Amino acid sequence: MTSLDDLDTPCVVVDLDVLERNVSRMAARAHAAGVRLRPHAKTHKVPEVGRLQLAAGAAGISLAKTGEAEVFAEAGFDDIFLAYPIVGAGKGRRLLALADRVRLAVGVDSVEGATSVGAVFHAAGRRLDVLLKMDCGYHRVGVPPAEAATTARRIAELPGVALRGIFTHAGHAYLATAPADVAAIARQEGEILAAAADLLRSEGLTVEEVSVGSTPTARVAMSVAGVTECRPGNYVYHDASQVSLGTCAIEDCAMTVIATVISVPAADRAVLDCGSKTLSSDALRPRAGGHGWILGRESRLDRLSEEHGVVRVAAGETFRVGEKVRVLPNHACVVSNLHDRVVLARGERVEGEWSVAARGRVR
């Protein structure tokens, strides 16, 4: 039997007991709320995890990139939503090939973008399902609520596309510092979309899907009347940001990085073999504060360079060269994108590994 202690480092480990519990809890929540669950698989990029999500009742998966959809389609996934504004004839041609074997939909937030992919489908005598992205306060992409009806109408009239619904992502919840603020953002996320769906329907447009979703807002947003679908992603693994937001406890975090102490140059400083190439440079949310938590210790990863993780050693703690520690990353989704494989464990026992098949598929 291989144990975690035998692994070469740095090494990303996924605890299967925690993963399975996270998957079934979110599935149960969606079931109880009466909404379809369409998890965002960009968090894990692993077909085997997607299959666990489908087996627990997910209706399909969400992804961001066309290349990610190609990998999951190849792995047999047949209902995929690209929750991202897809633009350009090049993407349109790749999507046309995918649409032969997958129930496919993509995000749009402009007439220009929808026209560019729709033209390819129209030329082939086909239609691509699209969901209009709405801005519910994150102010990243998406049309503001006041423009939703006008933009939706113009998109619905385009050749080569069919409006399936609307969607949003309340990414600003990650900056809320109190649980009550996260809950208020979540309610708003659901209510803005439900109101927009009513408005669009009153104008004669078909709105089959009203899709919300992020891990911190999922529980509240999916329970708003009128919401039909939820797309949380991070919940499968969770991370230090979810713990500091209050979304979950440390025991709910399935992904950790095992690292080795490679140097202890001073009593207050130890250095691990995991830097930004392993953990990414993503900040802790909602407030920046180091680069990962060392489980069981007060000491924190204070700064990263590419291959070095510098620990500020807390008073009363010591580290020794050669010792292995477990780091809880700030942001699990970006860690997935940096690694070819994740090692699977139950407790201290290694059970195998999975290929992160869609990592790096940024196009």
DSSP label at 136?
Answer: S
Looking at the DSSP assignment, which residues form a beta bridge with residue 106?
A: 82, 130
Q: Which residues pair with 309 in a beta bridge?
A: 272, 304
Stretch that binds ligand PLP, among 52-60, 112-120, 213-221, 278-286 (CB under 6 A): 213-221
Calpha distance 150→59 (Å, rounded): 30
Binding window for ligand PLP (CB under 6 A); candidates: 121-129, 158-166, 225-233, 282-290? 225-233
Q: ∠ CA(178), CA(181), CA(183), 5° rounding?
A: 115
Q: At what angle do helices 89-99 and 111-123 cross, to 10 degrees?
A: 50
Q: Confirm or reject binding of residue 91 to ligand PLP (CB under 6 A).
A: no
Shortest distance (Å) from residue 99 CB to ligand PLP: 20
123, 149 Cβ separation under 8 angstroms: no
SS3 content of the chain, % helix, strand, coil (to 5): 35, 25, 40
Residue appearing with tokens 């202690």: 5
- Tell me the window of 48-56, 228-236, 280-288, 311-319 that interacts with ligand PLP (CB under 6 A): 228-236
Q: Does 65 bind ligand PLP (CB under 6 A)?
A: no
Which residues, 6+ apart, have CB-to-CB distance to 238 below 8 Å?
A: 22, 215, 247, 248, 252, 253, 254, 255, 332
- The footprint of ligand PLP on this chain (CB under 6 A) covers a number of residues equal to 13
Please pick, from the candidates 60, 113, 213, 290, the single residue that binds ligand PLP as defined by CB under 6 A. 213
> What is the smallest separation between the CB atom of 78 and ligand PLP, expressed in angstroms?
20
Residue showing tokens 């975690």? 4
**Residue 43 or residue 299: which is nearer to ligand PLP going by CB?**
43
247 contributes a contact to ligand PLP by CB under 6 A = no
Measured over the CA atoms of residue 349, residue 11, residue 80 and residue 202, the dihedral's sign is positive
Q: State the first-to-last Cα distance of the chain, in angstroms, to the nearest integer.
A: 40
What span, in angstroms and rounded, lies between the C-alpha atoms of 237 and 13?
10
Of 13-21, 147-155, 210-218, 343-351, which part binds ligand PLP (CB under 6 A)? 210-218
83 binds ligand PLP (CB under 6 A): yes
Binding mask 1-30 for ligand PLP (x = CB under 6 A): ------------------------------
The reply to whether 215 sits near ligand PLP by the rule CB under 6 A is yes
Nearer to ligand PLP among residue 131 and residue 261 (C-beta): 131
Tell me if 233 contacts ligand PLP by CB under 6 A. Answer: yes
The Cα 87–Cα 106 span in angstroms is 10
The reply to whether 234 sits near ligand PLP by the rule CB under 6 A is yes
DSSP codes, 226-253 = T--EE---GGGT--HHHHHHTSS-GGG-
Does residue number 40 form part of the binding site for ligand PLP (CB under 6 A)? yes
- Least spacing, CB of residue 245 vs ligand PLP, in Å: 10
> Which span sits near ligand PLP by CB under 6 A: 50-58, 118-126, 209-217, 285-293?
209-217
Is residue 214 a contact point for ligand PLP (CB under 6 A)?
Answer: yes
- Residue pair 131/160 in contact by the 8 Å Cβ criterion: no
Residue 182: CA atoms inside 13 Å, Cβ hemisphere, count? 23
Question: Which residue's CB is nearer to ligand PLP, number 245 or number 342?
Answer: 245
Q: 320 to 339, contacts with ligand PLP by CB under 6 A? A: 333
Comparison of 40 and 164: residue with beta carbon closer to ligand PLP: 40
Tokens describing residue 325: 């520690």
What x-and-dash track marks residues 143-172 binding ligand PLP by CB under 6 A? --------------------------x---
Residues at the contact surface with ligand PLP, assessed by CB under 6 A: 40, 43, 83, 169, 213-215, 231-235, 333
